[in-house]
Amino acid sequence: MAGRLCPWWLGYFIANPVRRLWQDPGVILGPFISEGMRVLEPGCGMGFFTIEIARLVGPRGKVVAVDLQPKMVAGLKRRARRAAVDNRIDARLASETLLNVDDLAGTIDFALAFALVHELPDPRGFFGEMHRALRRGRKILLAEPNGHVTEAQFAATVESAKSAGFRLVDRPVIRWSRTAVFDRA
């Protein structure tokens, strides 16, 4: 799902453990994820959130982590092996226009789209794929960086999610981010 992509080499900076000081994955995701869940994380990069998601879902859960860039996926796999959670992660490559997650239709318990949608050429298509993947009544957390996305742009993204069939249910606070939580009706 190519658009304005974050360069793969920046993945090392984004996955830096120091980032936890202002965006702790456990604190952000803890309210949404529990053991045994199936979680979809498009735009996973080198796994800043993915590793924590794998810990939260536990040995009975699964994380489907998708990225367009092979070097990001390779970095994620290395980090997952070091963290001993690689058996919980299904790392996949997206195509230029699709996430390639049709096989997940109606099976996902939670989805995370963190600092991703502003890079996509077709947000409506993205939210359509996410809607198909999520089980009814399940949630997606959307967070976009303040520095890259204006309030007006974020409002348009929210409308794209709504037009795909999502219902806005919350606007949690995440430092340096514009956020929304949707559920699949």
> What pLDDT does 2 receive?
40
Domain assignment present for 113? yes
pLDDT at 104 over 80: yes
- Range with lowest mean pLDDT among 12-26, 56-70, 159-173: 12-26
Mean confidence (pLDDT) of the chain = 91
Q: Which residue has the tokens 């949707």?
A: 182
Domain assignment present for 70? yes
Domain assignment present for 3? no
Number of structural domains (the chain) is 1
Domain assignment present for 136? yes
Domain assignment present for 2? no
Q: Which two tokens stand for residue 141?
A: 């957390």
**How does residue 148 score in pLDDT terms, banded at 50, 70 and 90?**
confident
pLDDT at 33 over 80: yes
19: domain range? 8-25+34-184
Relative orientation angle of helices 50-57 and 70-82, to the nearest 10 degrees = 50
pLDDT at 16 over 70: no
CB 112 within 8 A of CB 51: no
Q: What CATH number is attached to the domain comprising 42?
A: 3.40.50.150
Percent of the chain past pLDDT 70, that is, above it, reads 88
What's the average model confidence in pLDDT over 122-149? 96
Q: For the chain, count helices (H), then strands (E).
A: 6, 7
What CA–CA distance (Å, rounded) separates 63 from 91?
8
Domain assignment present for 1? no
